[in-house]
Amino acid sequence: MASGCRDCSTCTKPGLAKLGQDLTVGFLYLCTAFIAYMVKKGGMRHCPQCKHLLSNHARRADGSFRD
């Protein structure tokens, strides 16, 4: 399995931006007592390749992925 995909805005970010995002999200999870984590993992659709949210993936006008 690949570590990321080219259509995902999270996978294509520079390393420093990913670090900042990870720290911010981790702080959010701590502030909400991991309720935000449960909502994200249980109630939202994820990419089967990279496990990030599908809403962060680039799509064409017809809804298909740009791959």
Confidence of residue 15 (pLDDT cuts 50, 70, 90): very high
Question: How far is Cα 60 from Cα 49, in angstroms, rounded to an integer?
Answer: 19
Question: How far is Cα 55 from Cα 21, in angstroms, rounded to an integer?
Answer: 16
Give the pLDDT score at 2: 46
What integer is the mean pLDDT of 5-23?
Answer: 92
Dihedral, CA atoms, 10, 13, 14, 15, nearest 10 degrees? 0
Confidence of residue 65 (pLDDT cuts 50, 70, 90): confident
What integer is the mean pLDDT of 1-18?
Answer: 83
What integer is the mean pLDDT of 22-31?
Answer: 96
What percentage of the chain carries pLDDT values higher than 90?
A: 58
Question: How far is Cα 65 from Cα 34, in angstroms, rounded to an integer?
Answer: 31
Q: Report helix, strand and coil shares of the chain as percent, to nearest 5.
A: 45, 10, 50
